[in-house]
Structure 1
Amino acid sequence: MVSVPWLTVLWAIPMIGAAVIILLPAGARHVAKYAAVAVSIAVLAVALLLAARFDTAGAQYQFVEDHPWIPSFGTGYILGVDGIALALVLLTAVLVPLLLIAGWNDTPDPTALSGRAPHAYVALVLAVEGMVLISLVALDVLLFYVFFEAMLIPMYFLIGGFGAGTGRSRAAVKFLLYNLFGGLVMLAAVIGLYVVTAGSAAFDGGTFDFRAIVTAVADGDLAVNPAIMHALFLGFMFAFAVKAPLWPFHRWLPDAAVESTPATAVLMMAVVDKVGTFGMLRYCLPLFPDSATLFRPVIITLAVIGIVYGAIVAIGQTDVMRLIAYTSISHFGFIILGIFVMTSQGQSGSTLYMVNHGISTAALFLIAGFLVSRRGSRMIADYGGVQTVAPVLAGTFLVAGLATLSLPGLAPFVSEFLVLIGTFTRYPVLAVFAATALVLSAVYVLWMYQRMMTGPVAEGNENLRDLHRRELVVVAPLVALLLVLGIYPKPALDVINPAVEHTLTTIGQTDPGPAVAEGPGK
């Protein structure tokens, strides 16, 4: 019986779909959007099939495919998925069709012959999806790096070619330069890792096989000067910190998010940037456990600064889209904090946070985008009384905002709570500082809602339309996911926890035991 290479099918569908759509003749371009949605739904179907067949009690990496790629370089076409990658695969597969529908009117006339035609836009979105998916399932370091960098190209054109702002070209260049520089630093580290394996007796020549390298590191067979491993760790970590982004490498994100269309901004913040935090958990910890432990205090300090900084700067924003972009910097701080405290609660919460942040940010940013497209302004001061004329829009905006501030009963609460608990067991002072963001997030979300949605109807808002059918098709699943994962996160955690436990075991970390005070005379 022939085994179906499901992981290859997973990423090949959007890549082939993108190639077919971009080659459509001018007379057939009116079907490009429908074809793209159909392709993205097919990807979702494959992702759901993988989830249904994934055995939480089985091997760490499942659906493994291992074929030669460039044997002379010690690299192979190796794919496999664990619980952490599967969670992000599902997030990507769920969001992309919703983003294609949300951005239905973000492109010019279908008959346009320029690069800004709708068929080019949807092809770029599918290309990004395919590259993200192969990055998530790659088990070869070089294979991961190739697509980690390649996804910058379609994202650059989505921001610069289809952006909604007047500064989109500058924002696209800024996005590209930051991420390209981080990627070049990582390339040096990838080459260095190959040289290290080539000089080790544990391997018959150099290799990029992630599983083999991790096994050698865990068994102590990769005897390398610690200073070299620290340098390699910093090369990987720098690239991921720019992509995620971690403060102070965040400067490209607000501009890129504001100048993009809302759908592109969500694709960037909720999907593409997650590859950065995924890389920290997948590569930085197992490949360089001693280095990760050494630099842990510095990284979690930067993460806490980012948490507080993002929240404070968000409070002072007058542009609703920029405000939401800064909230993501705060949330990425929580995700990175959970990864590097190296506790089971912290890393499980961090992985779940990647999923929940993707959903909540998609909901809030898209609803705000729908509102901005009606009013033609991103300025908070131009709104007021929206709940009177568009109650469904205002109501869903409130739910998404409350999810962003991690209200109990909505999905982000569970993940943020786990991250804080996991942090407190090892770094109680930093956990207290991070927890101040809970108050700050309530300030920026509720104040934004009060200024935009409540009170008398501001001039120019009298004729704002409520959400229509296409927009409800986008918003309703996101709100439903926020409620379901907020009330019953167990299925997601059942998939994530075994992978987290394996990671902690591999890097030799255990949860801190409870401190028990000794009684008198003991």
Structure 2
Amino acid sequence: MQFLLALIVVGPLLGAAAALLPAPPGLKGKSPDQAVLRHGVTVTGVILLAAIALALGFDHDQPSRMQATTDISWIHALDVRIHLGVDGISLPLLVLTALLSFLCALYSYFKMPAGPSPKGFVALLLVLESGTLATFAVLDLVLFFLAFEMVLIPMYFLIARWGGEGRQAAAWKFILYTLLGSVVMLLGLLLIGVKAGTFDMVALATDNGRGLTTSVQVIAVLAIGIGLAVKTPMWPLHSWLPDAHTAAPTVGSVLLAGVLLKMGTYGFVRILLPITPDGMRTFAPYLAAFAVAGIIYGSLACLALARPGNKGDLKRLIAYSSVGHMGFVLLGIATMTPTGVNGALFANVAHGLVTGLLFFLVGAIKDRYGTADLDTLAGATGAALYGRAPRLGALLAFAAVASLGLPGLAGFWGEMLALFGAFEPAEGLSRPAFLTFTAIGAFGTLLTAAYLLLVVRRVCMGGPRPAGETPIADVHGYEFAAWTPLVALTVLAGLWPAVLLGLTDPAVQKLLAGGTQ
């Protein structure tokens, strides 16, 4: 188990280094480019198998206990340790990251985005995977910061070198926003480490803030929270996200939405809730207020983009939808209750599955029609996917209803539990305020349904293909292979939520109790 977790974290880095080497003659196949893309599929496939093996070997009777732990002294003077471990909170995110990375590598093997050499693309993809997996596996505050920052450079280059129109400006906006947030976050992490005398996240969580004064906790939550909120992204620190998604290549958008946004909310749950509970209690109402503002703002922005005549970009619309969906995650965290936090973690995974699928689908539509502009796709000779590419249209409709939270699919449970948590927040939080937030959040679900159904109507419905019109390809085999796991897991999580909640609930209970259970 220890070896598996270490392999999952370090393996992609070794694979990235190997991707930059010349391919051995026997593995080149038709071309060196094909060889390096196949290398990416192989490495991410091995990491996915290791993650599945880790999940199968995980002691599901004790999901609150850190398992597969490694604890080695690294910087003795600062007591910084290479401390790795996995529990019921981090395990689903590790498997989700490994799965999406593999599906992106598989998709890229057949549909490599236009840009420089595939060598750099594959290496950056693997470094990005390693940094994300490390973020969910490390148990030291300094290592968490290093892993958190490790993903910025590969994502910057993926957008700047393989992105579409406006990619340079979008890449700069992405890295400047996240770097500025991270600088403030580092100060907060150092404050906790210095005042508590340790950077060990398990020891700090067990102490449950008893070694930190309330004023230190408030300052730490403010500093760390800003850095995490930028990455989440929380309104009004979200403005880098739509540009980054619109310009990024398809696989970049899938990883950005499916994995990178989860790093921010994971930091709230893993660091701020257990280590600085008094500080979180002070800021919880404000966090909830920003969360519901994001829900409404994201939904209204999507409605505006979906209206005829507004030249709305479909990728940009889904990016704004992420602002709203992550608002539900933040609302669940702000309740500081097991129900709300479990809902936040469930919504995290559901958003990764559903929005990852949506970005894959929009990328496929853009490849076929040369545009993601809604007015063009919905014009007189527009997409009308049900009549031109029925399987693609059906998948888009499925992803849309999953995203709006249809009962029986993954998107439902996280949002419902977050609203339930807000209905009965933790002791010490204002119930009237949180009841107001619950009502606003519930209204946001109606707005979400409105814009997603509008998108389905405009893109999928329409007249049959006119005689003589060049037919477009329906779902290709490689697309079917990349998308089917996301569809299957969306249905599984919706019909059998205990698979995920059974892992997260005991760990959340222990986390909120300060490790005393």
Fold-level similarity (TM above 0.5): yes
Kept in 1, the 8 Å contact 2:299–2:320? The answer is yes
Kept in 1, the 8 Å contact 2:16–2:124? The answer is yes
TM-fit CA distance, 1:428: 2.0
Q: Which residue of 2 aligns with 1:171?
A: 170
| RMSD (CA atoms) | 1.9
Q: Which residue of 2 aligns with 1:51?
A: 55
Kept in 2, the 8 Å contact 1:107–1:117? The answer is no
Q: Secondary structure at the match of 2:89?
A: helix
Q: Which of 439, 444, 452 is the aligned partner of 2:446?
A: 439
Query: 1:146 and 1:464 mapped to 2: Cα distance?
Result: 45
Q: Secondary structure at the match of 2:109?
A: coil
The amino acid of 2:56's aligned partner reads A
1:236 aligns with 2:224: yes
C-alpha distance 451-371 of structure 1, shift in aligned 2 (>3 A): same
Counterparts of residues 54-133 of structure 1 (less than 5 Å): 54-58=58-62, 60-104=65-109, 107=112, 116-133=116-133
C-alpha distance 175-191 of structure 1, shift in aligned 2 (>3 A): same
Query: 1:264 and 1:106 mapped to 2: Cα distance?
Result: 13
Query: 1:80 and 1:389 mapped to 2: Cα distance?
Result: 49
The amino acid of 1:324's aligned partner reads I
The amino acid of 2:372's aligned partner reads R
Q: Which residue of 2 aligns with 1:514?
A: none
Q: Which of 367, 377, 380 is the aligned partner of 2:374?
A: 380
Query: 1:223 and 1:134 mapped to 2: Cα distance?
Result: 27
TM-fit CA distance, 1:108: 6.4
Q: Secondary structure at the match of 1:464?
A: coil
TM-fit CA distance, 1:208: 1.2
C-alpha distance 39-237 of structure 1, shift in aligned 2 (>3 A): same
Q: Secondary structure at the match of 2:237?
A: coil
Kept in 1, the 8 Å contact 2:329–2:345? The answer is yes
Kept in 2, the 8 Å contact 1:246–1:332? The answer is yes
Kept in 2, the 8 Å contact 1:179–1:239? The answer is yes
TM-fit CA distance, 1:430: 1.1
1:407-453: CA deviation from partner (whole Å, max 9, x where unpaired)? 11111112211111111123222111101122111111111111111
Kept in 1, the 8 Å contact 2:234–2:323? The answer is yes
Query: 1:508 and 1:424 mapped to 2: Cα distance?
Result: 26
The amino acid of 1:194's aligned partner reads G
The amino acid of 2:128's aligned partner reads V
C-alpha distance 478-223 of structure 1, shift in aligned 2 (>3 A): closer
TM-fit CA distance, 1:377: 1.0
Q: Which residue of 2 aligns with 1:189?
A: 188
The amino acid of 1:329's aligned partner reads V
C-alpha distance 390-57 of structure 1, shift in aligned 2 (>3 A): same
Query: 2:330 and 2:57 mapped to 1: Cα distance?
Result: 30
Query: 1:167 and 1:53 mapped to 2: Cα distance?
Result: 45
Q: Which residue of 1 aligns with 2:41?
A: 37
Query: 2:22 and 2:301 mapped to 1: Cα distance?
Result: 45
TM-fit CA distance, 1:65: 0.6
Q: Which residue of 1 aligns with 2:287?
A: 299
Counterparts of residues 102-501 of structure 1 (less than 5 Å): 102-104=107-109, 107=112, 116-163=116-163, 165-197=164-196, 206-218=197-209, 220=210, 222-224=211-213, 226-317=214-305, 318-383=312-377, 384=382, 385-426=384-425, 427-456=434-463, 462-501=470-509
Kept in 2, the 8 Å contact 1:382–1:458? The answer is no
Kept in 2, the 8 Å contact 1:103–1:262? The answer is no
TM-fit CA distance, 1:106: 5.0
Query: 1:444 and 1:125 mapped to 2: Cα distance?
Result: 32
TM-fit CA distance, 1:272: 1.1
Q: Secondary structure at the match of 1:67?
A: strand
C-alpha distance 118-502 of structure 1, shift in aligned 2 (>3 A): same
User: Percent identity between the aligned chains?
Assistant: 36
1:100-126: CA deviation from partner (whole Å, max 9, x where unpaired)? 2223355468xxxxx821121121111
Query: 2:458 and 2:113 mapped to 1: Cα distance?
Result: 33
Query: 1:16 and 1:83 mapped to 2: Cα distance?
Result: 27
Query: 1:87 and 1:215 mapped to 2: Cα distance?
Result: 22
The amino acid of 1:330's aligned partner reads G
Kept in 2, the 8 Å contact 1:375–1:461? The answer is no
Q: Secondary structure at the match of 1:166?
A: coil
1:149-189: CA deviation from partner (whole Å, max 9, x where unpaired)? 121011110111111x2200000000000000001111112
Kept in 1, the 8 Å contact 2:291–2:327? The answer is yes
The amino acid of 1:382's aligned partner reads T
Number of equivalenced pairs: 490
C-alpha distance 36-123 of structure 1, shift in aligned 2 (>3 A): same
Query: 1:30 and 1:471 mapped to 2: Cα distance?
Result: 18
Counterparts of residues 16-27 of structure 1 (less than 5 Å): 16-24=14-22
The amino acid of 2:405's aligned partner reads S
Query: 1:507 and 1:309 mapped to 2: Cα distance?
Result: 37
Kept in 1, the 8 Å contact 2:139–2:201? The answer is yes
The amino acid of 2:256's aligned partner reads M
C-alpha distance 24-228 of structure 1, shift in aligned 2 (>3 A): same
The amino acid of 2:350's aligned partner reads N
Query: 1:250 and 1:189 mapped to 2: Cα distance?
Result: 21
- Most deviating of 401-410 and 55-64: 55-64
TM-fit CA distance, 1:73: 1.2
The amino acid of 2:207's aligned partner reads A
Query: 2:110 and 2:61 mapped to 1: Cα distance?
Result: 45
Q: Secondary structure at the match of 1:273?
A: helix
Kept in 2, the 8 Å contact 1:407–1:413? The answer is yes
- Most deviating of 15-24 and 170-179: 15-24
TM-fit CA distance, 1:507: 8.7
TM-fit CA distance, 1:501: 0.8
